Structure 1
Amino acid sequence: MSTDLAAMTTPQSPRTKGRSLGSNIFLQASRTTEFRIGLAIVIGLILLSLVGPYLLDLSPTKFNVSKKFLPPALLDPSSWPYIFGTDQLGRDLFTRSLIGLRNALMIGVASVVGMFVLGSAIGMVAGYVGGWVGLILMRITDAQMSIPVIILAITILGLSRPTPLTIILVLVLAGWPAYARVARSVTLSERRKEYVRAAKILGASDLRILLVYIAPNILPPIAFVAVLDVARMMIFEAVLGFIGIGVQPPTPTFGTIIADGTKYLMNAWWVTTVPGLLLAVSLCGINLMGGALERSRNRILQGA
């Protein structure tokens, strides 16, 4: 009798039954060529953005007008060591583009992590507590979703000095509602299951139930969305820089480099093309990974 009671009251989270759904999704996706190519691209670009600017003794901000508009050394060896050429002020595009890539990746990843944490916390509380608390939280979520990202960014960044931190905060404020909705939906489903009831019987606090038993179940439904959101946030960061409300000079960003180069497309196309290609390749790698994760999740759920 006591053995049966222990079995009934021991919290049986899905994580205890072999691998978790998230692990199965990742393992299945990692076996696909699409995911491996995307991962190789992303890792390669991350490493390049970290070590690339230090490979050549060239400053990303130092002016040298006598060497302006040098074509890429890949096309004209006489331009060496300017691998990607120079811009209208003679600054090296190789180091500037890689630092812009580093900033875009940092802002993209940090903003998605912030959106996931904030949105999941609000969604779990709304789904677990329910009642008027959940109603108020979800109405706030709906109101936030109705505000376009660009309007929110212009409003906030127009009143403060744009820095990487303020841009991350703007993107977090713009994107958390989608994660809150998913977290609430999962929490509403999980809180009725036996392992949650068993945890309550054993005396687990509401906070422990949310963090230990329910929170791990939120990741699988939104893992691929989070990966794709990194690409989306990188695009937003570039757009903000392009219209002049992103990270301010002299810090190089994709948006500012491309905006500066649009005036010289006819005689110095590489000024906009180099950062544009780097951004496109990084987005391609991230989208390949996100697409593979999404298809793996759908296959697992359809086979369940």
Structure 2
Amino acid sequence: MSNMTDVTSTADTGAEADAAPRAPGRYSWASLKAHPSLLIGGGIVLLMILVALFAPLLAPHDPYAQDITNRAVPPVWFDKGSWDHILGTDQLGRDYLSRLIYGGRVSLLIGFAAVSIAGVIGTVLGLLGGYFGGRVDMVVTFLTTIRLSLPVILVALAVVAVLGGSITIVVIVLGLLKWDRFAVVVRATASQISRLDYVRSAQAAGASTFYILTREVLPNLTPQLIVIATIEIASAILMEAALSFLGLGVQPPTPSWGLMISEAKGYMFFSFWLISIPGIALATLVFAINLAGDGLRDLVSPDGRG
């Protein structure tokens, strides 16, 4: 009878260990090469980040400088194109390549900044709810339910319309509206980890709650947080573009891909490149981020996608 109890106890402990998320480890180049989507998507995103960082050095012209005499110049591959303006100029004569480069800087800044805010909020709430449980978990679940009941785009439109559109306002609004995915995943995983032996050992040894959460629980959540962040960054960039397209996001003359598409919609039948170039850039960035996130998910969870 005693042997049977020992076997059952060992099986339960093993099941808990198997169910626990993997701690973040080091991945070799060989393991990275096995995930081409991560390499391709990550490479495109890295390239765009580098272009955005070095925008003042790479942009051939001032993105704000207007030249009415050279407005709506087509890209260089058209008959009337000019190498002085490789991607042409917009309806105000501003160099389109320069505005495209600086617009990518704005999109990436808003995407990363908004998700950073959302990640902190969601991770903190998820850790508290998953670790403490009980009434704390009820409060976290209640807040998450309220957030999920609110349509993000409509709330963002209403808030930005009242407060005015700017990069700061858009970042704060999106950061406060996109934390729910972080909270749900972190809460579920933290609740699971908090029952494992090494966490209970730390509690028995008298370790502080802050130490346990930051040194024992949070490191095991890093892979999941990275994957969620890639998804939310792409979503935030698209949402910023939508707000700017509607005139409630980044305000002119600041270049933004969504704003460039909005400004060009009246010329799409005469100068279609004005709307297609930023549209292609936006689609490429979002696709690359999603591709990299899909590769990261496969890398950190090779046994499945769950």
State TM-score, norm by structure 2: 0.86
Uncovered stretches (5+) of structure 2, i.e. residues with no partner: 1-16
1:182 is aligned to 2:195: no
Partner residue in 2 for 1:263: 266
* Pairwise CA distance, 1:266: 1.3
Distance of aligned partners of 1:36 and 1:270 in 2 relative to their CA distance in 1, 3 Å threshold: same
* Pairwise CA distance, 1:50: 2.7
* Pairwise CA distance, 1:262: 0.7
Q: Whose RCO is larger (CA < 8 A, sep 6+)?
A: 1
Percent identity of equivalent pairs:
33
* Pairwise CA distance, 1:58: 1.5
1:64-94 alpha-carbon deviations (Å, 9 max, x no partner): 1110110012434752211111111111111
Report matched runs for 1:121-270 at 5 Å. 121-270=124-273
Report matched runs for 1:2-81 at 5 Å. 20-21=23-24, 23=26, 28-29=31-32, 31-76=34-79, 78-81=81-84
2:108 to 105, 110, 120: 105
* Pairwise CA distance, 1:52: 4.2
Is contact 2:234–2:290 with CA below 8 Å preserved after alignment? Answer: yes
Partner residue in 1 for 2:91: 88
Partner residue in 2 for 1:8: none
Is contact 1:145–1:174 with CA below 8 Å preserved after alignment? Answer: no
* Pairwise CA distance, 1:186: 1.0
* Pairwise CA distance, 1:51: 2.5
1:133-171 alpha-carbon deviations (Å, 9 max, x no partner): 221221011101111111111221122132222211111
1:115 is aligned to 2:129: no
2:278 to 266, 275, 280: 275
* Pairwise CA distance, 1:23: 4.1
Instruction: Tell me the C-alpha RMSD between the 2 structures.
Output: 2.2
Is contact 2:24–2:222 with CA below 8 Å preserved after alignment? Answer: no
Is contact 2:72–2:89 with CA below 8 Å preserved after alignment? Answer: yes
Cα distance in 2 between the residues matched to 1:26 and 1:139: 43
- Which segment drifts farther, 67-76 or 264-273? 67-76
* Pairwise CA distance, 1:39: 1.7
State TM-score, norm by structure 1: 0.87
Cα distance in 2 between the residues matched to 1:27 and 1:277: 32
Alignment-mate amino acid for residue 149 of structure 1: V
Is contact 2:227–2:297 with CA below 8 Å preserved after alignment? Answer: yes
Alignment-mate amino acid for residue 47 of structure 1: L
- How many residue pairs end up in the alignment? 285
1:102-127 alpha-carbon deviations (Å, 9 max, x no partner): 11111111112221111010111112
- Which segment drifts farther, 158-167 or 210-219? 158-167
Cα distance in 2 between the residues matched to 1:27 and 1:201: 41
* Pairwise CA distance, 1:275: 0.8
* Pairwise CA distance, 1:49: 2.3
* Pairwise CA distance, 1:252: 0.8
- Which segment drifts farther, 270-279 or 68-77? 68-77
1:185-242 alpha-carbon deviations (Å, 9 max, x no partner): 1111111111111111222101110111101122223432221221111111100100
Is contact 1:25–1:296 with CA below 8 Å preserved after alignment? Answer: no
